Structure formats: C-alpha cells, structure tokens
Amino acid sequence: MLKSTYMFRYLILSLITICIVACQNDGKPGGSGNTPYDLKLQLKTGDHFRYEMSTIQRMNQTLMGKKMNIDQEMLFVFDYDVLQSNGQSTDMQVTYHRIRMKQKSDAGTVELDTDSAELRNPVYKDLLKLKGKSFQITVNSTGEITKLSGMEFLGGNSMSDSSLKSMLEMSFKLYPDHPVKPGDQWNIEMTNDLGGVMKMKLNNTYELIRVEKELAEIKCQSNISSEKGNTQQMEMELSGTQNGTMQMELATGMVRTLKMKQKMSGRLKASNMDIPMEIESDVELTGSKR
C-alpha cells in the first residue's frame, strides 16, 4: 500500500468533519405537516456538543498487478464549543478527545487507541499527537467558513488553508435559501480543492422527510466526481455516491444521529504507479449536548 502523510491527514480531517452539520428552526413546528421550517445555522454562545463517529471502511486496490484488501474501523470522539455567536456568525472550537483505529490487510493488523497505552502504535505517531488538540473556525449563517486558525499542530504546509476551508465547509454548507416543508428538496453543489491532488465535486440533494417531536429527519443523496489537480507528485481520480439520513433537534440545532453509506471508485497515480481502487464506507454519528 502506498503511504502518503498528506493523504492520511486529509482522510482523518475529512472523516471528522464531513458528517457534522447544524441547523435551526426559528419557530415551533405546527401540527398540519405543511408548516415551512427555516433551516439555518443559529447556535448560542456557550453551547457545548460531544460527538462520536464510527466508520467501517473496505478498500480494494490493485498494486503492481496484485489485489490487496484493506478493512478499517475507526472511532473519533470530539467536541464543538461555541465561543461566540451573534446570529450572523459563529466562532467554534473543535477538540479531539479520542481516536481508535484498527486496520487489517494482507500485511497484518495494526491497531491504535489514544486511550490505551498498549495500543499507542508509533506507526500512527501523527494521530497520537491529535488527542487534546484544538482548532477554531468561524461560520456564517449560510454555512460558509470565513475564518480558520490553530491548525499548526498538523505539521507545516502539508495542506493549505484554502483546502482545509473548503473541506470543512462540506460539514456546514447545506442550508436551503428559503423555508422548506416536508417533501421539499434543495440542491447544493460544492468543489473541494484537496491540496492540488484533485478537485472533488459534490452535487448534494437534500429532502426534509418529516418533523416529529422536535426532530427533523433529512435525507441526503450525493453524486461525487473529481477533476485533476495541479500537483505533479500525486494524482487521484474518484467518483461515486453517498446516501443517508440524519436527525436534528430543532431546539438546539444539533445532529442527534446520522447514518451514511458511501461508495467510490477511482485510481491513484504516484511514483510511476497506477493504483485502481474501490472504497465502501459506513458512517454512523451520534451527538449530545453537554
């Protein structure tokens, strides 16, 4: 398996951030089922949320004519602290608390758990450094990341601020520009520049399914494609789909649960090698206010 510090760090950040979303309803839902809901980012100063996200990932790739299977299980525990919110913009601090990973391949099994002295594998020394680390973001009411700071602990210039910014926006930029009722759909297109390796394009369709007991259920369907980046060291092409549902509390704007399935295929080109790959992922997220 070709190893790249850049791609590994990107994977970690994308898994942590891609499923975290927040939206708010400004009024109480009515009983008719036809009441429109104004979904937008609206958190309160002092709000504190803890999330646990588990991912089961299966990767099949061909390296130098040999097929390789990699099974990976990951658990991330992290917090969102709202430092300041005025209705137009929100300052938040994101803190990593625990990372657990198990990777099984033809080469053997490697495990990591930042909470276990026996499983603090030096192979993943960069991940071990993440425990207890924080960074800050500022998000406006439409979900756009307007400021990003405190990322120095990730190590120099491996990823540009613009790449991190666009990657984080995939977590927040999902709100409709008008109130929606159950059955309404809205579409958001995004392009994420992954540090020059490739540009990932997402065509996201959201649908408000129902609102019951202060919970909004939203269905998400995404088509994923890519364009060639501008780096000569590595080139990556990916395409696929992402489907799932999430439940959000209207009173707080937090995600209570999320389940997502992702299927992608493509190829990685680096060091004069062309590596076809297929990736399937199952992601589950649970969150609570603390």
Q: Where are the domains of the chain?
A: 5-289
Angle at 215 between CA 212 and CA 217, to 5 degrees: 90
Structure tokens at 102: 């198990």
Per-residue confidence band for 163, with pLDDT thresholds at 50, 70 and 90? low
CA distance 263 to 283: 12
Return the HEC string of 204-226.
Answer: EEEEEEEEECCEEEEEEEEEEEE
CA distance 75 to 67: 27
Question: What confidence tens digit (pLDDT) does each residue in 261-285 have?
Answer: 999 999 888 778 888 999 999 999 9
What is the model's pTM? 0.80
125, containing H or E segment: helix 125-128
**How many angstroms from the chain centroid is the CA of residue 20?**
6
E-assigned strand segments in the chain:
48-63, 66-85, 89-105, 108-113, 134-140, 145-149, 185-193, 198-212, 215-228, 234-249, 255-270, 273-289
Pick the CATH number of 5-289 from 1.10.287.130, 2.30.230.10, 3.30.200.100, 2.30.30.60: 2.30.230.10
Q: What is the reported pLDDT for 118?
A: 74
Nearest to 281 by CA among 113, 111, 72: 72
Query: Average pLDDT in the 27-32 region?
Result: 43
Better-predicted residue by pLDDT, 289 or 184 = 184
Q: What is the reported pLDDT for 230?
A: 61
Better-predicted residue by pLDDT, 234 or 259 = 259
pLDDT at 37 over 70: yes
